[in-house]
Structure 1
Amino acid sequence: MSLKRQLLIASLLTLLIPWLGLQFVLELDGALRQQAQGQLLEQAQRMAVQTNPLLQRQPAVFHGTPALFAHTLSHAPNLDGFGDDWPGYDEEFDDSPLDDPNTPLGWQLAVDRDHLYLLVKARRPQPRYFDPGRPRQPHDHLRLVWTRAGERVERLIRTPAPGPVVGWQPQDDPRPDYRIRGFWQAHGNGYQLELQLPRPEPGERFSFAIIQPDRAGVPPSHGPGLTTLPRLVTRAPLLEQALTRGLAPGQQAAILDPAGWRVAWSERPAAPDSPDFDSLSPLQIVERISLNGLRGLVRFYQPSPARWPLLADRQPIEQLPEQGLIDNGDGPALLVSQPLADGRRLVLVQSLDQLLTLSGSALGTVIARSTLLVIGLMLVLLGYSSWLSWRITRLQRAVSSSVDQDGRIIAALPPVRGRDEVSELGHQFRLLMDKLQGYTDYLESFSRRLTHELKTPVAIVRSSLDNLAHTGPTADQQAYLDRVRQATERLSQILQGMSEAARLEQSFDHAEHEPFDLAEVATQATHAYQALSPGHRIQYQGPDQGCQFHGSPELLVQLLDKLVDNARDFTPAAGLIEIRLNADPGHWRLSVYNQGSALPDALASEIFNPFVSLRDSKGEGHLGQGLLIVRLIAEHHQGEARASNADDGVEFSILLPRPSQAGQA
């Protein structure tokens, strides 16, 4: 495993710190929710005790009891017959949608202080207005009915033309009731009424019906109905004031009738948790983002909340949980409920965002900062590991490029700067390479000096043997002299091979490359070899010309000399030696084939190494330098030397790059 990966794994282990912090936050969140739920339940019990006396003034509405709900307005609407200042007018009426073409009537009820407001929108393409001259003629009008102290009160709204209207008592001699006033406004599909009435007392009933007689004079009515008057349900200001006094920041409370009507509603907004963006520093912005991410993780691991329409005017009270997590549209929250008098219920909700803000922001900030610190530390470690790995890789490449595949030092290491361990290692490598270069130079010069120094003793030995041969030695002495003469000749050939290999490596630096025809060189060399070795059949197979190559023809002739010389040693008398030249894709294949014994498989890949030879040790002295010289000349021309068995002989091939792909040496 590379050093970079090891440091990466070590850096990833630091993520355990924020992970353990997250586990702690999750456990703390569960404990805080349980504690907050208990505190909410106690708070709901106290609020229930405070609100129960106030509920006696607000009669309860039970299941099955018809009721109409009136919204609470923040300000009185302008009585102009238009509903643009009514909440939700552009969307729909609570009891009857106005955008349904099959519904002839839509309405909305609202209260503001001591007044009840009614907005009625009727679809009537051709309304029939009231004719004061013929009061009994059927006409469109609105009937209002409510109760006061148990007594039924009824008023009529009629008009001879669109405009301001007042209420009329339904008697033979009607009288106006100016406590009821409003505006009758005509529009393209009918008309719209906007009325202001005295607000009924809590628990009283209220209803209305709009009469729209048809052409036959039959007066059909539309609306909630006048037979069974519905209970008028509104939010009680006194109850809402009592709820507001008992709320903490981020809490909401509601009181529900047994039928699910929301008769009281209050909330206390939490303190704003979002500071001015322009006032934050970049570090604080990143910290806020991290804290929001932490809150998102906490929400992800929380139990799934139940959907509950806390802001709806009527809620399914039979499905109301006693306590638990809910989603009221503003995010997850804690809910507890407490029974009240007459089957009512108090619902208290605490926002979990506020809970986390109040109890976990400090810890969340610490964890967020530690996470940012760990991520920054990881980036620093990864950058440092990359830089360290790059330095080691550069040192490795420098060492690799300084030594060739034969172990010879071809370049010096560049100087290494710095005072750390890697720099010291590079410095020691440089010293080592310098020492190895000196030792290699000594070994290379040693062969030359040894050759030079041994030539004189060998010459003396050879002359002494010649002199002894003229003294008339005995048969036994002659045998010893012949053995010494053979050893001397072998030693002379060894010294000649060592000297030739040393001179060849030195000649590479002075060899001149030129373009020439490889086929002509091979053809001429083949004719010369045949003349020098008439005991073998030496032939050339390939094109006579057109094989352009850029290199040293003298070195390539020397390469062929060594290959043919090697082939003659292993080819029987009258055997075939063939010089071949072929054009392969991307290179020229120059090969020498000879009949004879096959190469051992174990030496096929090592035959071009120094001191490797297949000749009999009893024969002439040979150091195995010939094929080494072949490989050196091939590599000098950016080529490759190969040896393989072929049919009934051996083939040595030299792959030389063709001019289109060969670099200029």
Structure 2
Amino acid sequence: MSLKRQLFLASLLMLLIPWAGLSFVLELDTALRQQTLQQLQTQSTRLTELADDLLLGQPAIAGDPVVYARPVQTAGDTFVWPSYEDQDHRQPWQSAATSDNEPQLRWQAAADDRYLYLLTDVQQHSLTPFNPARPEQPYDRFELWLQAPASDLEQPADPHTWHIKPDEARATTASEPERRDYRVHATWRIRTNSWQLEVRMPLPAQGSRLGFRVARSDTGASLAGTGTEPLPALVYPHRVLERALGRQLGPGQQVTITEPAGWITASASREGRDNANFENLSPGQILDTVILNGLRALVRWYQPEPLMLTGADFQLNSRQVPDNGLVKHPDDSLWLATAHPLFDGRSLLLEQSLDHLLSVSGSALGSVLARSLLIILALMLVLLGYASWLSWRITRLQRLVSASVDDDGRILGPVPVPRSGDELGQLQQHFSQMVDRLQSYNRYLESFSRRLSHELKTPVAVVRSSLENLAHSQSETERREYLQRASAATERLRRILTSMSEAARLEQSFDQADKEPFDLAEVASQACAAYQQLDDQHRIHYQGPPNGCPLLGNPEMLVQMLDKLVDNARDFTPEQGNIEVRLQHRTDHYQLDVFNQGSQLPETAGVDIFGAFVTRREGKAEGHLGQGLLIVRLIADYHGGKVEAFNQHHNGIDGVCFRVIIPVQPA
């Protein structure tokens, strides 16, 4: 799997953050619904006591016919029927049962704080107008009855009757036909085969009964109407009760009082919050709104199925609220509801908007989830971009390394030095160094065959020529001379082969070598004294403590290391030149320096002189294949140390210093 896919899968784990947030929202929604339902039940008890006090003495409406007046807001004395003018918001008509041959009478009623408005519509009937010149002629008229409410101790009073003639704006009372009642105002709209009448009158008291009909003036026969026995009950919202209940509501709540037959007596609500104009929202607020709407949809998906509240126009069946309180209105809004019975069979329904609950609980969390989602998307894009960048860098490094080496292993060119200092840059730098070393080593291997051929060619030629001359020699002296020359050449061949295998044998001996405690100062001082006795052409000195440098290691190997360093120093030191062996005891290591007077190391970087088959002698001595300093490095590594070489100016003398640092490992 590629690095890009791995980072993509890893970035998907961050989606657990919004999932955890959604789980928290669902748990919070369940807890809030349970707590809110308990609060609604407690609040409905208080509202029930308030409603019983205000409705005391008003008879309940069970199965009686009803004229329902919906609430409206008016400006002054003017009133426009929105149901009649606005086709999109038309209110339903109420109608009286008639036969097919009788006129069809239907009506709408409305009420504000001062007046009762009645709009009647008669179909399939041409209105017979009133002729003022011949008032004795029959005509159609509109009759209106109003019966005041009765108390528990009194009998209902006789209804008051008004007659409204066609094309007249004022009504007359039935007891005094010539007296106009200016409190009742009428407006006629007469059409072909139909007519409409709008009536405005002072608002009757709660509990009144209202009836009306279309009748003939001569016979009094009813053409269409609501009936007179009994008069329909007039029901309109109780404004005082609505105001009192509205003051007790919280944000996002609404309360409804219904009669036993389901008619809505009072309804009050309080908006949860003002809906801000979409054009005035900032981008962050728009995103929060979108996320909050998404949370609403998800919460509704996981909520229990709500119960649809049923009922006819201006009626509501509030006794069907489920135990969990979840109800749904015809406009698809969700509410948390609780029903409480009132006196005389009435019912109180208190509801809390679930959208408001989610707005309260989810607005802050929705904002957090929205920003978390943006951060997650941004991080995923950053990770994918970073993965693509890393993949490109790795592919580029792979192409650079592949281009620097051919199929036969030959180095074609160096790897460019990286510009960045991160891990990939360090890896490219290490590849560059490795390719440089391999290139230097390949150059050495290419010259090694020539050097080895040169080293072996001379002794082989000497042996061959000595044997040929030996076959033709006459005297014993000549034969002895040729045998000595062949023997010396053979010994030279042996030293060359021994030098080639010495490093390999040394590495194998590390597995069997045992470490023992010894004094490094004593070993170094004694070895230097032996070197001086065997070499009278150089001055070999030891500088350091005579003893007191305990070490756990192999003294024979350390002596062999000193042999190689001193032998190397002799080859580059002129006659009577100085060779100094210095030993210093540091805090945690010993520092062993071998300084020789003479030529210095080149300043330019090149082949590691402590590598295999590396030499700087360039023909100064025979039989040296560059194994001595390799052995020095192997012995230093065995003792946990390291070795380095550098040019040094010491006591006014220029030369080269080989330094070996060995950690202190006391017995």
CA drift at 1:338:
0.8
Q: Secondary structure at the match of 1:195?
A: strand
Partners of 1:250 and 1:269 within 8 A in 2:
yes
Alignment pair present for 1:150 and 2:157: yes
How far, CA to CA, are the matches of 1:116 and 1:418 in structure 2?
Answer: 87
Which deviates the most, 233-242 or 184-193? 184-193
The letter for the 1-side match of 2:400 is A
Amino acid at match of 1:307: M
Aligned to 1:47: 47
Q: Distance in 1 between matches of 2:39 and 2:291?
A: 29
- 2:267 counterpart letter in structure 1: W
Q: 3-state SS of the aligned residue for 1:50?
A: helix
Q: CA RMSD in A?
A: 4.3
Q: Which moves more between the two structures, 186-195 or 166-175?
A: 166-175
8 A contact 1:211–1:219 mirrored in 2: yes
2:343 maps to 1:341: yes
Q: Secondary structure at the match of 2:197?
A: strand
Secondary structure of 1:141 counterpart: strand
Instruction: Measure, in 1, the Cα distance between the counterparts of 2:87 and 2:207.
Output: 26
Q: What are the equivalent positions in structure 2 for 1:641-652 lying under 5 Å apart?
A: none
Task: Work out the CA distance in 2 between the residues paired with 1:208 and 1:334.
Answer: 41
Q: How does 1:288-303 map to 2 (within 5 A)?
A: 288-303=289-304
Structure 1 length-normalised TM: 0.59
Letter in 1 for 2:159: R
Corresponding residue for 1:610?
Answer: none
Q: Matches of residues 209-608 of structure 1 in structure 2 within 5 Å?
A: 209-211=213-215, 221-272=223-274, 274=276, 278=280, 280=282, 282-283=283-284, 285-308=286-309, 313-321=314-322, 324-328=325-329, 329=331, 331-440=333-442
Matching residue of 1:71? 70
Q: Which residue of 1 aligns with 2:557?
A: none
3-state SS of 2:415 partner:
coil
Higher deviation after alignment, 451-460 or 343-352: 451-460
Tell me whether 402-411 or 422-431 shows the greater mean CA deviation: 402-411
1:165 paired to 2:169: yes
CA contact (8 A) 2:318 2:339 kept: no
- Match of 1:209, SS? strand
What letter corresponds to residue 161 of structure 2 in structure 1? E
Contact in 2 for aligned 1:251/1:349 (Cα 8 Å): yes
Residue 131 of structure 1: how far off its partner (Å): 2.4
Match of 1:106 in 2: 106
Deviations 1:461-481 (A, max 9, x none): 9999xxxxxxxxxxxxxxxxx
> In the alignment, residue 308 of structure 2 is paired with which amino acid?
R
CA distance in 2, matches of 1:189, 1:79: 28
Match of 1:31 in 2: 31
Q: Given the superposition, is the C-alpha separation of residues 169 and 294 from structure 1 closer, same or farther in structure 2, using an over 3 Å criterion? A: closer
Structure 2 residue corresponding to 1:194, chosen from 182, 194, 198 = 198
Query: Percent of aligned positions with the same letter in both sequences?
Result: 45
What CA distance in whole angstroms lies between the structure 1 residues aligned with 2:57 and 2:345?
Answer: 15
Change (3 A) 1:173 1:141: closer
Matched-pair contact (CA < 8 Å) for 2:307–2:327: yes
Partner residue, 1:649: none
Shift of 1:83: 6.7
Q: Is the 8 A contact 1:254 1:265 kept in 2?
A: yes
On the 8 A contact 1:166/1:177 being kept in 2, the answer is yes
Compared CA separation, residues 459 and 190, structure 1 to 2 (3 A): farther
Secondary structure of 2:169's counterpart equals strand
Please give the alpha-carbon distance, in whole angstroms, between the structure 1 residues aligned to 2:86 and 2:59: 26
Letter in 1 for 2:31: A
What 5-or-longer segments of structure 1 have no aligned partner? 465-665
TM-score w.r.t. the length of structure 2 is 0.59
Maintained 8 Å contact 1:59/1:202: no
Query: What are the Cα deviations for residues 390-437 of structure 1, in whole angstroms up to 9, with x where unaligned?
Result: 211221233234444444444543332100010010111122233334
Distance 1:359 1:299 in 2: 14
Deviations 1:146-189 (A, max 9, x none): 32343133222212xxx442223446965433332211123466
- 1:6 deviates by 2.5
Q: CA deviation at 1:289?
A: 3.9
Amino acid at match of 2:115: H
Shift of 1:232: 1.1
Shift of 1:254: 0.7
Distance 1:84 1:244, change over 3 A: closer
Cα distance in 2 for residues equivalent to 1:181 and 1:211: 19
Q: Are the counterparts in 1 of residues 61 and 259 from structure 2 also a CA contact under 8 Å?
A: yes
Label 1:250 to 1:107 Cα distance change in 2 as closer, same or farther (>3 A): same
* Match in the other structure for 1:635: none
Equivalence for 1:616: none
Deviation at 1:191, TM superposition (A): 2.5
Distance 2:88 2:431 in 1: 87
2:18 aligned residue: 18
Alpha-carbon contact 1:67-1:233 (below 8 Å) kept? yes
Displacement, 1:88?
A: 7.3
- The verdict on how the C-alpha distance between 1:451 and 1:291 changes in structure 2, with shifts beyond 3 A counting, is farther
Identify if the C-alpha distance between structure 1 residues 220 and 50 changes in structure 2 by more than 3 Å, giving closer, same or farther.
closer
Cα deviation, residue 67, structure 1: 1.0
Confirm or deny: 8 A CA contact 2:127 2:193 kept in the other structure. Answer: no
Matched-pair contact (CA < 8 Å) for 1:81–1:184: no
Distance in 1, Cα, partners of 2:321 & 2:286? 40
Deviation string for 1:34-64 (max 9, x for gaps)? 111101110000111111111124321114x
Return the alpha-carbon distance in structure 2 between the equivalents of residues 83 and 373 of structure 1: 51
Residue identity opposite 2:181 in structure 1: D
